[in-house]
Amino acid sequence: MGVAVCGNLSVWHGYRWWSAAGHVSGRADALVKPGGPLAAEVSDWRRFLAAAEEEEHVERLRPHLRTGRPLGDPAFIARLETRLDRRLHRLKPGPKPKPKT
């Protein structure tokens, strides 16, 4: 995520759940494996993260930044949930219906 979204490039390294630190350092961690699928797409992660973002991408990411929920298709989210043994998808808002007796 570029400066346009986070506002300050110096903050990217402080989030352990954000893959940017692993990509920039080139070290493997829970989210990144060197030579993984994104390695062929981005050669210089520092420059990539500092680049201005297109407004369309920023608007798509913004709600996920507020909630901390991952952005991806349902299959991606399901794989993350399985791997982390944790629910990540959004539930229906509002009170749960009371069971009928």
Token digits of residue 34: 């060197």
Residue-wise pLDDT for 6-24, tens only, equals: 554 445 555 555 677 777 7
Average pLDDT over residues 61-69: 83
pLDDT at 99 over 50: yes
Helix, strand, coil abundance in the chain, percent, nearest 5: 45, 0, 55
Domain boundaries, the chain: 3-84
pLDDT at 2 over 50: no
The answer for residues whose C-beta is within 8 angstroms of residue 28's C-beta and 6 or more apart is: 22, 34
> Mean pLDDT over all residues of the chain?
76
